Amino acid sequence: MLDDSLSSSSQLDSPRFTPLRLTSRRRRLVVTSAAVLSVISILVLAYLSSSRPLLLVPQDPILPPKDDTPPLDRKSVLLGPPTGRFRDNLRNDTKYITSWISAGWTNDVMTYGNLIYLATLTERVPIIGPFTPSHIGGDAGNVLFGDVFDIDYLSEKIGMPVLEWHEVKNLSTPEIEDIGCWSVWQAVQVRESTPRGTNALNLQGLDISFTAGPKWLQKIPGYEHDPHAHFWSIASLLYSPAREESLIPPQPSEVHGALLPPDEHLACFDYLYYVCAHTSFEYQQDMSPAWRFVTQHFRWTNRLQSIADGYLRRMLSVPDDEPIPPYIAIHARRARDFLVYCNGQNKEYCFPSIATYQRRIEEIQEETRERLGIFPQHVVMLSDEEESDWWDSIRAVGWYAPDHVAEDTVNKYGKWYPVLIDAVIQSSGIGLIGMDGSTMSLLAGRRVQDWHNGVFKNIKWGSPDADDH
């Protein structure tokens, strides 16, 4: 039991995150999960063979392993509480990695997923920033990663502590510190000559001196239509000889004009959205290792899940002591960029009709009935649509929708919460009908598949017969 002796030794002398411990944790997890799964399947079979319908949607069919391993102490990879300078809080026997976000919320979730997956590949502790409100409206303010996702659960699942910036450094009026980082962005695209913009200076007081990554980072060097890089190409910059071979003169930092090579203690990259193991936009593929090894373990915090459950109960008139019935959610992007893609066609022509949705609903009902013995009756619509006529037409066919105006969601919880609550509802049913091309649909669909063993179907759009099949 090498790992147990390791974990019981002094926290400062031996950080709990070691490859040895990881392996053993994973093995136990697999064995325990297999045991738990077989018990669950027997129970489910017994349940199905009885005549009662299966009502409850299991929120998490795979229970956390019950063993004597103490919970992973994330903070053990820091010297103590947040310090004025991040460097004063990093352990000298531990390496770290960070990066930043700069797109819509779901893209940013995927980007943090990529960062954490890269962290596991390079055995570095990831330090994560907040979500910034690029598409929500600047006055929404930032929301902490840990207010949306259960960061302790995530750390347990991946066997590695995940830190947030505010846990490392006192950010109240962040002291400006110089650091050297790699720019992946300068290497993978030709439209901009500068590194991808980050919020590092504002948020963390980091004054970055960038070193442009080598051109071979780009999957297809010089190809202007695909800025993807491979995880391992980026990872190689953290090791010899790729690091030394790629060092070129750094660019001066914005505030101090500092010239620094990429930091080795805290590795940092400007932007990691366009990263894949094999295929560009890989989250669309079942093989996506970032999804399978990391992002699928981004579970909603208990608080956020119970807020969303409250909306579902009121919407579907389910009393507190009864389970929420399995339902089919629809995510309909109908505004902003998706409206632009309609090229001036009206929405009735361009976006899926109720009849088109109905066909997909029936397909999902058929599949869950056959495969799970569940026949979901309720349909819940989530959308960025603002026209009340359309919402009326949705309610007229008996479908449900959260009413963020009547519920006063923005005043009660803040501007982030209509979209956060809708995202939770999208991912908590037994089926999801998504909007082809939407990453928000994509992640919700993967959650329905992998968390609830449910069905995900994307709907094609652009003309009335686009989804014919």
Ligand X SMILES: *[C@@H]1O[C@H](CO)[C@@H](O)[C@H](O)[C@H]1NC(C)=O
Residues at the interface with ligand X (CB under 6 A): 81-82, 92, 170, 172-173
CB nearer to ligand X: pick between 174 and 352: 174
Number of amino acids touching ligand GTP (CB under 6 A): 18
From ligand X, ligand GTP, Mg ion, none, interface partner of 356 (C-beta below 5 to 8 A by class): none
From Mg ion, ligand GTP, ligand X, none, interface partner of 105 (C-beta below 5 to 8 A by class): ligand GTP
Does 252 sit behind a cis peptide bond, omega within 30 degrees of 0 on the bond before it? Answer: no
Beta bridge mates, 268: 98
Least distance (Å) between residue 170 CB and ligand X = 4
With beta carbons less than 8 A apart as the criterion, state whether 326 and 374 touch: yes
Q: What whole-number distance in Å separates Cα of residue 365 and Cα of residue 377?
A: 8
- Does position 295 interact with ligand GTP (CB under 6 A)? The reply is no
Residues 74-113 touching ligand GTP, rule: CB under 6 A, are 104-107
Instruction: With H, G, I as helix, E, B as strand and everything else as coil, classify residue 210.
Output: strand
Number of amino acids touching Mg ion (CB under 5 A): 1
Structure-block tokens of residue 305: 């899940």
CB nearer to Mg ion: pick between 104 and 431: 104
Residues sharing a CB contact under 8 Å with residue 156, sequence separation 6 or more, in sequence order: 64, 71, 72
From Mg ion, ligand X, ligand GTP, none, interface partner of 92 (C-beta below 5 to 8 A by class): ligand X
Least distance (Å) between residue 416 CB and ligand GTP = 9
- Does position 384 interact with ligand GTP (CB under 6 A)? The reply is yes
Stretch that binds ligand GTP, among 57-65, 199-207, 258-266, 376-384 (CB under 6 A): 376-384
CB nearer to Mg ion: pick between 86 and 338: 338
Least distance (Å) between residue 331 CB and ligand GTP = 5
Residue 21 neighbours by CB distance under 10 Å: 21
- Does position 331 interact with ligand GTP (CB under 6 A)? The reply is yes
Least distance (Å) between residue 128 CB and Mg ion = 20
Start-to-end CA span in the chain (Å) = 55
With beta carbons less than 8 A apart as the criterion, state whether 254 and 210 touch: no
Instruction: With H, G, I as helix, E, B as strand and everything else as coil, classify residue 270.
Output: strand
Which DSSP string corresponds to 72-127?
Answer: P-GGGGBSSS-BSSGGGGB-TT--EEEEE--S-HHHHHHHHHHHHHHHHHHT-EEE
CB nearer to Mg ion: pick between 105 and 269: 105
Residues 92-111 touching Mg ion, rule: CB under 5 A, are 104
- Residue nearest ligand GTP by beta-carbon distance: 104
From ligand GTP, ligand X, Mg ion, none, interface partner of 361 (C-beta below 5 to 8 A by class): none
Least distance (Å) between residue 338 CB and Mg ion = 9
From ligand GTP, Mg ion, ligand X, none, interface partner of 172 (C-beta below 5 to 8 A by class): ligand X
With beta carbons less than 8 A apart as the criterion, state whether 200 and 208 touch: yes
- Does position 394 interact with ligand GTP (CB under 6 A)? The reply is no
- Alpha carbon dihedral 400, 406, 412, 413, in 10-degree steps, equals 30
Least distance (Å) between residue 216 CB and ligand X = 34
Q: What whole-number distance in Å separates Cα of residue 249 and Cα of residue 202?
A: 25
With beta carbons less than 8 A apart as the criterion, state whether 229 and 282 touch: no
With beta carbons less than 8 A apart as the criterion, state whether 382 and 419 touch: no
Question: How many Cα neighbours within 13 Å face the side chain of 277?
Answer: 15
From Mg ion, ligand GTP, ligand X, none, interface partner of 136 (C-beta below 5 to 8 A by class): ligand GTP
Least distance (Å) between residue 273 CB and ligand GTP = 10
Residue 101 neighbours by CB distance under 10 Å: 26
CB nearer to ligand GTP: pick between 18 and 390: 390
Residue 458 neighbours by CB distance under 10 Å: 19
Residues at the site binding ligand GTP, with contacts judged by CB under 6 A? 104-107, 135-136, 331, 333, 336, 382-384, 418-419, 422, 438-440
Chain residues binding Mg ion by CB under 5 A are 104
